[in-house]
A and B are shown apart, each in its own frame.
Chain A
């Protein structure tokens, strides 16, 4: 009887002790939950307000300028109330495309080399080296471009000015190279060893293994890497503004001065009065960049879900 009583009596005591521990840790968990949720919400609210503000301010430009003129006119002359952003939109798209053409093959080759070909000691040097490249401030890239690359382009092509899409694309290539390479590197390294072994077991050469097995298997990751690189190229400002020439004209070749969305914004935003059509036009250009990067992020998400 006593034993039974003890059996009955003991468990509640244990439970109550556990409950005490649970209660205090529950409060902590709850606090932590509220704190993290609050941070996430704060970020969400800030981001949403930024988008709302840029969008709202930007769209006001259409009170003064017709969308037709804004998107398709090549005349940007704020003092004559002409706000045609087509030069900058085309400039941004072609600069990004050119950067893609330069950067993607080199970065991919570098990534394949790092994972598949390079010996271990070289890998240990290459990866930190690429990380270091990311850390160099973009203004330094721009200055090097202005003082070394542009004169070089001038003497190599016989161009007069030398500033332009080519110089900007080369500078940008150097800047996005680490981004694309490191993410592709991770994607390629994540391809299961079994696939390589199976491929070699069937008698494939290293080249066949890389191009027929590893690259297709890693392709969602590589695509993500390229898009992330392009997103950086589209938004990059400081380096580009120093080598693009900042002239609102359609370039006839790759080394004639022109301008892109980001450089026009950075050059003019501090000089315009808030609330003017000029100011709104610049905000609209910023909104365009925001839309472009949002589309890129959506594409990445799509690729990721497909890959998984």
Chain B
């Protein structure tokens, strides 16, 4: 009897407190401009999370949540309604090889993402040509010796399908040549996993956007051109993609504010450059 009383009091307390919490939240939401949920590309993730941090400072009442899984998840989550902004490394309103166009979405350019071929820092190889990369990633060149390295078999690390980095790298660096699918080959889900996989294996080769190149991985030159933002800007280094934010129809309210903050020259010439991305204007 006593127990029942206690349980019922506890339940009542729980219900009341939950009610208050939700009531408070909805009251907040009514006075604020709303919420922004970004999902998609991990290549754009360093940029989006930095942007969200700065945006929240000037708009404390807007809730911004940022997550990254893969580019294709961006437009898909927006279509499904689980995110308000989808980050994607290609313009998902148009079809690209392997992926259909998404209808009803509006695309906003936000940044230029340079991609780099990466190897372990202990690797002697400094430069690879288009045909050498095509050979390595299709599984025809299997030993580092064949491209001027030490005598060791090459381990190819690839991103899984759905990755925008993979789409861009395949189109720009490999000129559309297809990837190998078996042998000394492994696939990883995200940009972060790529750096861990290559950084922990001296014989591995992979690719990632420039923002992630640090620690025990280094970027290789492509056809003799170093992977730097300067070389991307002067159009000497061709391996880059354009990052897009996609919204269902034209962006409104908090989402429009967030996108215009990311597109503002303050952010484009400030934090974005520091993260080794490039302003989208001019590309």
- Tell me if chain B binds chain A: yes
Which of the residues A28, A150, A270 comes within 8 Å of B73, measured between beta carbons?
A: A270
Residues in A whose Cβ lies below 8 Å from that of B155: 160-161
Residues in B whose Cβ lies below 8 Å from that of A79: 98, 161
Tell whether A248 is near chain B: CB-to-CB under 8 Å: yes
Which of the residues A247, A267, A274 comes within 8 Å of B182, measured between beta carbons?
A: A247
Residues in A whose Cβ lies below 8 Å from that of B162: 268, 270-271
Question: Given A271-B73, A271-B76, does the pair A246, B187 have CB atoms closer than 8 Å?
Answer: yes
A245 touches B187 (CB 8 A): yes
Tell whether A78 is near chain B: CB-to-CB under 8 Å: yes
Query: In the complex, A218→B162 CA distance in Å?
Result: 50
B181 touches A77 (CB 8 A): yes
- Cβ contacts A247-265/B at 8 Å (1 or 0 each): 1110000000100000000
Tell whether B189 is near chain A: CB-to-CB under 8 Å: yes
CB distance from B141 to the nearest CB of A (A): 14
B186 touches A241 (CB 8 A): no
- Cβ contacts B1-43/A at 8 Å (1 or 0 each): 1001000000000000000000000000000000000000000
CB distance from A253 to the nearest CB of B (A): 12
Residues in B whose Cβ lies below 8 Å from that of A248: 181-182
- Cβ contacts B187-202/A at 8 Å (1 or 0 each): 1110001001100110
Residues in B whose Cβ lies below 8 Å from that of A120: none
Question: Given A161-B155, A249-B181, does the pair A147, B200 have CB atoms closer than 8 Å?
Answer: yes
Residues in A whose Cβ lies below 8 Å from that of B153: 160
CB distance from A156 to the nearest CB of B (A): 14
Question: Given A160-B155, A271-B72, does the pair A246, B181 have CB atoms closer than 8 Å?
Answer: no
Which of the residues A77, A154, A161, A267 comes within 8 Å of B160, measured between beta carbons?
A: A267
B186 touches A161 (CB 8 A): yes
Question: Given A150-B200, A247-B186, A248-B181, does the pair A28, B4 have CB atoms closer than 8 Å?
Answer: yes
Tell whether A242 is near chain B: CB-to-CB under 8 Å: yes
A268 touches B196 (CB 8 A): no
Interface centre among B1, B73, B181, B182 (most CB of A within 10 A): B182
Q: How large is the interface on A (under 10, 10 to 19, 20 to 34, 35 or more residues)?
A: 20 to 34
Tell whether B69 is near chain A: CB-to-CB under 8 Å: yes
Query: In the complex, A274→B155 CA distance in Å?
Result: 34
Closest to A146 in B: B196
B196 touches A151 (CB 8 A): no
A151 touches B200 (CB 8 A): yes
Which of the residues A77, A154, A163 comes within 8 Å of B186, measured between beta carbons?
A: A163
Residues in A whose Cβ lies below 8 Å from that of B196: 146-147
Interface residues of A in 1-53 (CB under 8 A from B): 25, 28, 32
A268 touches B200 (CB 8 A): no
Residues in A whose Cβ lies below 8 Å from that of B197: 146
Tell whether B255 is near chain A: CB-to-CB under 8 Å: no
Closest to B162 in A: A271
A271 touches B203 (CB 8 A): no
Tell whether A178 is near chain B: CB-to-CB under 8 Å: no
CB distance from A93 to the nearest CB of B (A): 20
Which of the residues B69, B80, B184 comes within 8 Å of A161, measured between beta carbons?
A: B184
Query: In the complex, A189→B98 CA distance in Å?
Result: 59
Which of the residues A25, A154, A247 comes within 8 Å of B185, measured between beta carbons?
A: A247
Query: In the complex, A241→B197 CA distance in Å?
Result: 13
A78 touches B187 (CB 8 A): no
Residues in B whose Cβ lies below 8 Å from that of A160: 153, 155, 184, 203
- Cβ contacts A143-183/B at 8 Å (1 or 0 each): 00011001100100000111100000000000000000000
Tell me the B residues contacting A by CB distance below 8 Å.
1, 4, 69-70, 72-73, 76, 80, 98, 153, 155, 160-162, 181-189, 193, 196-197, 200-201, 203
Q: Which 10 A-B pairs have the closest CB atoms?
A: A271-B162, A249-B182, A245-B186, A246-B187, A257-B186, A270-B73, A271-B72, A160-B184, A160-B153, A161-B155
**Extra A-B contacts (14), CB below 8 Å, given A146-B200, A162-B201, A245-B187:** A79-B161, A151-B200, A151-B201, A161-B155, A249-B185, A257-B185, A257-B186, A257-B187, A267-B187, A267-B189, A270-B70, A270-B73, A271-B161, A271-B162
20 A-B contacts (beta carbon < 8 Å):
A79-B161, A150-B200, A151-B200, A154-B201, A161-B201, A163-B186, A242-B193, A246-B160, A246-B186, A246-B187, A246-B189, A247-B182, A248-B182, A249-B183, A257-B185, A270-B70, A270-B76, A271-B70, A271-B76, A274-B80
